């Protein structure tokens, strides 16, 4: 699809991080609405933007007029010829997530261009639109000025006139095109791709009517209205789809033969061993959705190119299905920038819809997902490289106008990947900013703060002309780059600065910057602020929503009692590594807070009461090594709390959490002073509990885990427990390493998900329960279990990969023979 008229660079170009006013390449992405920049012309699929996934059975099966087919080029041409018929004005492509609706729509558009029809108008509904953004999308298609172009132009115009003129220009151009194609007995094709979850409340349920009337300025009574035909992609029929001139097609999964062909087209077969053929054949035994096939091929390609040493293990995982392969590849601990960026993008895009690729890369930089945390230029280049890989591996998708959307077929990944648990629990800085619905800032709404952001020399900043500096809303800048500027001049013209992030600032005080309108600042991030002596400017930032002052362990200044008095709208507070001993009294006024990050504040001895913080979602006090007491006896009023991390603190008691139905992660690792574990009864969303290294814990009450059926990981390593309660969720991982007093395990037959059972160092453990029901068990570690008298029957554990019997008397030739049928088992 064309991006003519766009002010943004083509994502497939080598990114330009030079001067912001240098010429930017505006060549279109030819035929690429779904990240096909690297494909080989095969039967590609895009489930772009199916970020807010519903049931896979959303299609109305009772609709007998739906014709069923698969996503192929031949069928795309067939559908285009249906559009040429006089009695068809609308085509609806229905299908489950991942069946190829967007890919088919793009191929239909290609056929239209081949047939010398006017280039189609493509509108992605997976991005949050208002009327202005709809008009901009159509204006780019018609090579008309957009609001972004006007922001770059020098000279002043009234905002109201711009909106009126833009709408008028679009309508006049549209009517002219319809008149022209009617004379040639042709039509203009309008494509509405995606779901409606991101649309504004005032937009009609029948989106095609809304676009025709409100955006294109057309009425049903116009003589040339029949020259506009509509192609819609969606999961299920909506109101108005049963028009007598509407025709529906349902896209089906691929057959085995189609699956194998698509796999072969997308594998770089020259680098794969012979085992790949066996995996391919296993994968194509069942009908598969095109998106699943491409994700499978893309993930194997990723491992072969970036993690070649893991290829054999990946192929073994792939033999057990796509879920296991994706988990093997993407369920990694933090530190791998591509995996970190994927999970942040997955969570962010599912919640907010598609965004321009520069906005996504900027959010990765703000979240610290990239390895280059202190240099904007290098971070941007790394982010661009990561993004192109994720598109190439079919985990993210590229839409019209360089919009990135999540691959809809990944929607279930949070159910089987640990990182999915972490992703859903972390709203993120950019997400907190996007969630602002009301504002007194009329120039630039909060949801659009990052709109138009682009790389420059040592910066990321809003694109605008030399005389439009007041339109700069966002600025991320290296501290070294800022040293080259005269602060009064540099910041003086930026009257609408909403976001300011400085990496390794060489400042004693932010007031040195001479920000012209500090009362408009929504975000202030000072990352790696090692020279700071005061941050008094915070008292002037009345609109502040996100505050980060992190990375300075030497920052020992005392915050005044009124420090937070003027920033009561604050939603995210990050003081990582600050040398503060306590928070000021005015902290209690931050009742809008969602994220409280005080990790590594090693001098912090106490925390104020949090009872008023009813919107708090994340609290991270990890490595606050002087923290001994939490004032609350109960967190019961913090109903939205999702993550609690008190790891490596000296707290003696955890506040009551048993009523927190949204709590997903509870981390108390290394809390050596913690003497007892609170009841977790009815904490129904809890997925991860880590008490490892809490060496004073001696007992877990028998009913502690009742109604925690979603618990997936339980780590009680190095505690002094002797017994486990009978109910401990439905675990994937149970870790009891170094529990030297543990005598018995409960019945595990109901834990069909269990993959890892870590019992090394459990010196007093005498017997194991029956394990034959643990069909997914991969790791059984009994290293050092010197009192174990016998092994239960393991012959049914066909997925077992590692059995560690070191330091026991259990090894025998009989054990080896009984397990000889299990492939790749290491004893």
Can you give the CATH number for the domain in which 356 is found?
1.10.10
Cβ-based neighbour number of residue 812 at 10 Å: 11
Q: What are phi and psi of 54, to 5 degrees?
A: -105, -160
**209 and 266, same domain (yes or no):** no
**283 and 170, same domain (yes or no):** no
Task: Say what the pLDDT of residue 509 is.
Answer: 84
Query: Does the residue 39 lie in any domain?
Result: no
**422 and 290, same domain (yes or no):** no
Cβ-based neighbour number of residue 22 at 10 Å: 9
The first and second tokens of residue 778, run together, are 């991969």
Three-state DSSP state, 262: helix
**312 and 346, same domain (yes or no):** no
Beta bridge partners of 48: 407
CATH code at 534?
3.80.10.10
| Segment holding 525, helix H or strand E | strand 523-527
Q: What are phi and psi of 618, to 5 degrees?
A: -130, 130
Boundary-marking domain end, from 295, 330, 365 = 330
Task: Say what the pLDDT of residue 743 is.
Answer: 92
Query: Does the residue 643 lie in any domain?
Result: no
**290 and 228, same domain (yes or no):** no
Query: Does the residue 28 lie in any domain?
Result: no
Boundary-marking domain end, from 195, 219, 251 = 251
Boundary-marking domain end, from 228, 251, 274 = 251
**183 and 269, same domain (yes or no):** no
**90 and 204, same domain (yes or no):** yes
* Number of domains making up the chain: 4
CA 198-177-245 angle, to 5 degrees, is 60
**78 and 173, same domain (yes or no):** yes
Task: Say what the pLDDT of residue 620 is.
Answer: 95
**295 and 437, same domain (yes or no):** no
pTM for the model: 0.85
**447 and 593, same domain (yes or no):** yes
Task: Say what the pLDDT of residue 809 is.
Answer: 87
Rounded (10°) CA dihedral 656, 657, 658, 660? 150
Q: Are strands 629-630 and 606-607 parallel, antiparallel or unpaired?
A: parallel
**Do residues 715 and 690 make contact, with C-beta atoms less than 8 angstroms apart?**
yes
Query: Does the residue 17 lie in any domain?
Result: no
Query: Does the residue 164 lie in any domain?
Result: yes
Query: Does the residue 651 lie in any domain?
Result: no
Q: In angstroms, rounded to a whole number, what is the distance separating the alpha carbons of residues 189 and 4? A: 17
**263 and 189, same domain (yes or no):** no
Task: Say what the pLDDT of residue 765 is.
Answer: 94
**76 and 205, same domain (yes or no):** yes
Query: Does the residue 497 lie in any domain?
Result: yes
Task: Say what the pLDDT of residue 377 is.
Answer: 92
**Do residues 464 and 454 make contact, with C-beta atoms less than 8 angstroms apart?**
no
Q: In angstroms, rounded to a whole number, what is the distance separating the alpha carbons of residues 326 and 549? A: 36
Burial class of residue 183, CB neighbours in 10 A (0-12, 13-18, 19+): exposed
CATH code at 144?
3.40.50
Task: Say what the pLDDT of residue 440 is.
Answer: 45
Q: In angstroms, rounded to a whole number, what is the distance separating the alpha carbons of residues 742 and 749? A: 19
pLDDT mean values, one per 10 residues, the chain (827 residues): 42 56 34 35 36 41 72 93 92 91 93 93 84 85 75 50 70 90 92 71 64 84 86 81 84 87 79 69 78 91 86 82 89 89 90 88 91 87 96 91 88 85 68 61 58 88 70 88 85 86 88 86 88 83 90 70 90 90 90 93 89 93 93 91 95 90 94 90 89 94 85 95 89 95 91 94 93 92 93 89 90 83 76
The first and second tokens of residue 328, run together, are 């093997």
Task: Say what the pLDDT of residue 43 is.
Answer: 39
Give 379's contacts (C-beta < 8 A, 6+ positions apart): 364, 365, 370, 372, 373
Cβ-based neighbour number of residue 481 at 10 Å: 17
Burial 78-109 (b: 16+ CB within 10 A, else e): ebbeebeeeebbbbbbbbbbbbbbbbbbbbbb
Query: Does the residue 149 lie in any domain?
Result: yes
**144 is in which domain, residue-wise?**
64-251
């Amino acid at each position: 699809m064309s991006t003519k008229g766009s002010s943004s660079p083509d994502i497939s170009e080598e990114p330009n991080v030079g001067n912001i006013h240098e010429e930017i390449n505006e060549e279109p992405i030819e035929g690429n609405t779904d990240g096909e920049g690297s494909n080989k012309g095969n039967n590609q699929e895009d489930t772009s933007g199916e970020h807010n996934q519903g049931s896979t059975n959303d299609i109305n099966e009772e609709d007998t007029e739906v014709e069923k087919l698969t996503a192929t080029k031949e069928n795309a041409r067939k559908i285009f010829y249906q559009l040429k018929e006089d009695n068809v004005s609308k085509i609806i492509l229905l299908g489950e997530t991942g069946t190829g609706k967007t890919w088919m729509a793009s191929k239909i558009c290609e056929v239209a261009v081949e047939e010398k029809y006017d280039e189609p108008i493509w509108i992605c509904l997976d991005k949050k639109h208002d009327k202005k953004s709809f008009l901009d999308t159509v204006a780019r298609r018609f090579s008309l000025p957009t609001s972004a172009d006007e922001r770059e132009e020098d000279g002043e115009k009234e905002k109201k006139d711009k909106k009126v003129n833009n709408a008028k220009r679009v309508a006049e151009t549209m009517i002219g095109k319809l008149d022209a194609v009617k004379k040639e007995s042709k039509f203009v094709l309008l494509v509405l791709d995606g779901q409606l979850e991101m649309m504004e409340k005032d937009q009609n349920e029948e989106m095609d009517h809304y676009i025709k009337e409100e955006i294109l300025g057309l009425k049903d009574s116009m003589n040339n209205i029949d020259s506009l035909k509509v192609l819609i992609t969606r999961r299920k029929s909506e109101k108005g789809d049963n028009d007598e001139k509407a025709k529906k097609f349902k896209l089906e999964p691929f057959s085995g033969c189609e699956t194998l062909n698509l796999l072969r087209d997308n594998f770089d077969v020259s680098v794969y061993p012979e085992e790949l053929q066996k995996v391919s054949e296993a994968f194509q035994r069942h009908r598969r959705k095109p998106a699943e096939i491409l994700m499978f091929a893309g993930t194997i390609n990723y491992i072969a190119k970036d993690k070649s040493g893991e290829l054999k293990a990946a192929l073994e995982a792939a033999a057990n299905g796509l879920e296991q392969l994706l988990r093997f590849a993407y369920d990694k601990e933090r530190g791998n920038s591509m995996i970190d960026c994927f999970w942040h993008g997955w969570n962010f895009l599912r919640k907010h819809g598609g965004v321009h690729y520069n906005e996504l890369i900027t959010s990765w930089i703000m979240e610290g997902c990239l390895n280059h945390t202190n240099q904007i230029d290098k971070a941007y280049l790394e982010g661009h490289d990561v993004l192109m890989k994720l598109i190439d591996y079919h985990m993210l998708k590229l839409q019209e106008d360089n919009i990135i959307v999540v691959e809809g077929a990944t929607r279930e990944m949070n159910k089987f990947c640990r990182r999915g648990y972490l992703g859903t629990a972390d709203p993120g800085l950019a997400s907190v900013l996007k969630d602002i619905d009301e504002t007194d800032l009329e120039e630039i709404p909060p949801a659009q703060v990052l709109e138009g952001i682009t790389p420059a020399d040592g910066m990321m900043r809003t694109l605008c002309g030399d005389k439009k500096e007041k339109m700069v809303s966002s600025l991320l800048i290296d501290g070294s780059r800022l040293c080259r500027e005269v602060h009064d001049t540099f910041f003086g013209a930026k009257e609408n600065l909403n976001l300011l992030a400085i990496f390794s600032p060489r400042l004693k005080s932010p007031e040195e910057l001479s920000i012209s309108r500090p009362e408009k600042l929504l975000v202030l991030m000072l990352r790696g602020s090692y020279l700071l002596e005061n941050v008094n400017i915070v008292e002037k930032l009345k609109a502040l929503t996100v505050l980060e002052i992190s990375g300075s362990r030497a920052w020992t200044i005392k915050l005044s009692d009124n420090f937070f008095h003027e920033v009561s709208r604050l939603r995210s507070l990050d003081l990582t590594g600050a040398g503060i001993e306590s928070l000021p009294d005015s902290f209690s006024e931050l009742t809008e807070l969602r994220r409280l990050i005080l990790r590594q504040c090693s001098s912090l001895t106490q925390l104020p009461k949090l009872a008023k913080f009813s919107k708090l979602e994340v609290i991270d006090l990890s490595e606050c090594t002087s923290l001994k007491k939490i004032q609350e006896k109960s967190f019961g009023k913090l109903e939205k709390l999702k993550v609690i991390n008190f790891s490596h603190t000296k707290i003696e008691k955890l506040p009551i959490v048993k009523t927190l139905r949204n709590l997903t992660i509870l981390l108390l690792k290394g809390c050596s002073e913690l003497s007892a574990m609170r009841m977790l009864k009815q904490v129904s969303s809890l997925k991860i509990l880590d008490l490892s290294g809490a060496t004073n814990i001696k007992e877990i009450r028998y009913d502690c885990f009742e109604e925690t059926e979603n618990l997936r990981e339980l780590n009680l390593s190095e505690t002094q427990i002797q017994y486990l309660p009978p109910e401990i969720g439905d675990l994937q991982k149970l870790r009891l390493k170094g529990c030297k007093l543990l005598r018995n395990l409960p019945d595990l037959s109901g834990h069909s998900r269990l993959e890892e059972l870590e019992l090394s160092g459990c010196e007093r453990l005498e017997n194991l329960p029956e394990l034959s029901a643990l069909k997914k068990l991969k790791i059984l570690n009994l290293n050092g279990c010197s009192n174990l008298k016998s092994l239960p029957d393991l012959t049914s554990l066909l997925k077992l990969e590692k059995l560690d019997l070191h330091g026991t008397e259990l090894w025998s030739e009989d054990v080896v023979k009984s397990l000889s049928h299990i492939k790749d088992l290491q004893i």
